[in-house]
């Protein structure tokens, strides 16, 4: 009897389950970008969302990403092709250069305010987000001025809020307000006013990264504190632009596995829903990008999952802000078939066109002379690590290297390792070479090596959780042989580890057929 009832009911139960699934909201999973797009700032213009991030010493700098739904992001270019001053950034300036930028849309154009902690705050504009962008204009010079954020007020007045780097200014943990010309050509005061002082707030350290907004008659400053790895996101509000400001912690790690969730941007959809983009410091993987839902309660934002207090905690999954768009992510692989390098590539310093050539479906890297290890070599061609686990395969032809030249595939950070070729007396040798504490002038050490039957070799790098990296090689592109022990990738100065290619020596070149990245 029971069996017949179940048999009759099952089709209806299945139909009900199918209907429930079909109406369930589509969800995204954090992080939305598992790559080092540090200190993200984002805005919406029309139905499109735009994002910029720090780029430090890399060139081109100031990556430009856009998305139709805040989850699927496409890299469309870089605002800064070469860093200024040009001569300073002709060699790697690790941890310097472009710190946390601010992106805005005002008066019919896009604006980027970016700080260089050693030179001051620069402004760039563009009619089209993908560029071209104007040359950087030095709005205000000085050491230690960081994390600028402008606000054009309802009465036509313009302001700039910024933080301070203790390493340059001798103090930090405060936010300073300046009056600014509406066209951002100059500041209108001789000295600013500290409007938020973290030193006067319990447990506040490293207050920085502000973003300035206005809503319902309140001035709001969204700013992180507590440090990159273990901090939180705060909000400050005042009826007067110069304070006093109330404060509230609005996002913290809580019981989630997401450490230090902070520094980012409040974005609103055309339908009036609120979201918050921020980063999580993941050491060798860099500062990866998360998206949190956000609501307003009693005039204060609450970001992430509501766990019953003033501060939310990060969500692992949540419904899509906008559904129906194709999956997208910044590029990784490059077949080198085009006339330009893929947008994912950045050099270790300001680059020269003479360093490379593209043709016949190959990348030719012309060997650049160097002394010492790779830490201060500008001509490294690098990109961000794209996921927790992945595999890179590349085919290299070392036949064009001069005697003593080397070229290869590198996992790069303050510790690094590379697998590549050496040319000696017309013979090609494979070498696995490491350098621990590269930023402290370590000497390269060969971990393993074999003679190769020809100048052509396939190189492979497999990365698993924690940045643990295993190299292997092949003489035919089919059978791969592991070489050396595992290596744990290590971050650089304020950036995650990077992967890429290099060729060094006196004269000569190496040809790379492709650079393929797979899950």
Question: Catalytic site residue 189?
Answer: no
CA distance 1 to 363: 73
Active-site residue, from 39, 41, 247, 397:
39
Taking alpha carbons only, the member of 164, 179, 168, 161 closest to residue 143 is: 168
Structure tokens at 461: 């790098």
Taking alpha carbons only, the member of 148, 142, 140, 189 closest to residue 41 is: 148
CA distance 67 to 69: 6
Active-site residue, from 208, 247, 305, 444:
208
CA distance 349 to 94: 9
CA distance 375 to 265: 33
Question: Catalytic site residue 208?
Answer: yes
Taking alpha carbons only, the member of 298, 290, 213 closest to residue 248 is: 298
Taking alpha carbons only, the member of 238, 227, 230 closest to residue 205 is: 227
Tokens 């205000």, residue located: 140
CA 93 vs CA 89, 101, 124, 180, 341: distances in Å: 6, 18, 21, 30, 23
Residue 243 gets which letter from DSSP?
-
Q: What is the DSSP string of 210-233?
A: -EEEEETTEEEEEEEES-TTT-EE
C-beta separation of 50 from 129 below 8 A? yes
| Cα-based torsion angle of the residue sequence 380, 93, 99, 103 in order, rounded to the nearest 10 degrees | -50
Helix (H, G, I), strand (E, B) or coil at 459: strand
Q: Which residues participate in catalysis according to the annotation?
A: 39, 208
């Amino acid at each position: 009897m029971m069996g017949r009832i179940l048999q009759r009911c099952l089709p209806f139960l299945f139909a009900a389950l199918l209907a429930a699934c079909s109406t369930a909201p589509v969800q995204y999973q954090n992080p939305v970008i598992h790559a080092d797009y540090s200190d993200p700032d984002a805005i919406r213009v029309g139905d499109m969302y735009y994002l910029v991030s720090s780029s430090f010493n890399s060139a081109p700098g100031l990556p430009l990403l856009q998305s139709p739904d805040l989850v699927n992001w496409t890299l469309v270019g870089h605002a800064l092709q070469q860093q200024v001053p040009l001569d300073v950034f002709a060699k790697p300036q690790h941890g310097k250069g472009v710190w946390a930028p601010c992106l805005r849309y005002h008066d019919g154009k896009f604006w980027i305010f970016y700080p260089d902690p050693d030179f001051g705050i620069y402004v760039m504009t563009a009619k089209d987000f993908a560029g071209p962008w104007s040359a950087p204009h030095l709005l205000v010079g000085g050491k230690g001025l960081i994390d600028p954020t402008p606000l054009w007020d309802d009465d036509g007045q313009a302001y700039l809020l910024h933080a301070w780097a203790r390493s340059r200014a001798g103090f930090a943990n405060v936010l300073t307000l300046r009056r600014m010309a509406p066209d951002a050509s100059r500041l209108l005061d001789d000295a600013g006013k500290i409007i938020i002082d973290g030193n006067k707030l319990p447990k506040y350290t490293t207050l920085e990264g502000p973003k300035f907004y206005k809503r319902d008659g309140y001035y709001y400053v969204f700013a992180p504190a507590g440090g990159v790895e273990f901090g939180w996101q705060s909000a400050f509000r005042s009826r007067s632009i110069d304070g006093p400001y109330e404060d509230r912690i609005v996002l913290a790690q809580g019981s989630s596995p997401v450490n230090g969730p902070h520094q980012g941007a409040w974005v609103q959809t055309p339908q009036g829903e609120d979201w918050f983009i921020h980063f999580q410091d993941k050491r060798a993987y860099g500062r990866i990008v998360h998206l949190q839902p956000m609501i307003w309660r009693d005039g204060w934002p609450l970001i992430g999952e509501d766990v019953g207090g003033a501060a939310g905690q990060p969500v692992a999954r949540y419904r899509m802000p906008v559904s129906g768009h194709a999956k997208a992510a910044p590029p990784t692989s490059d077949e080198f078939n085009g006339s330009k390098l893929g947008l994912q590539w950045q050099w270790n310093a300001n680059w020269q066109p003479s360093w490379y050539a593209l043709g016949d479906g190959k990348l030719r890297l012309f060997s650049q002379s160097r002394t010492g290890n790779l830490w201060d070599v500008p001509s490294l061609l690098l990109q961000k690590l794209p996921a927790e686990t992945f595999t890179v395969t590349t085919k290299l032809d070392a036949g064009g290297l001069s005697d003593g030249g080397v070229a290869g595939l590198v996992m790069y950070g303050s510790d690094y390792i590379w697998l590549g070729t050496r040319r000696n007396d017309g013979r090609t040798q494979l070498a696995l070479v490491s350098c621990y504490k590269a930023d402290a002038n370590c000497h390269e050490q060969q971990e393993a090596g074999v003679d190769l039957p020809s100048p052509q070799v396939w190189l492979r790098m497999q990365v698993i959780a924690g940045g643990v990296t295993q190299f292997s090689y092949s003489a035919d592109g089919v059978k791969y042989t592991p070489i050396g022990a595992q290596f744990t990738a290590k971050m650089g100065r304020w950036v995650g580890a990077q992967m890429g290619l290099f060729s060094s020596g006196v004269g000569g070149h190496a040809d790379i057929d492709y650079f393929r990245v797979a899950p």
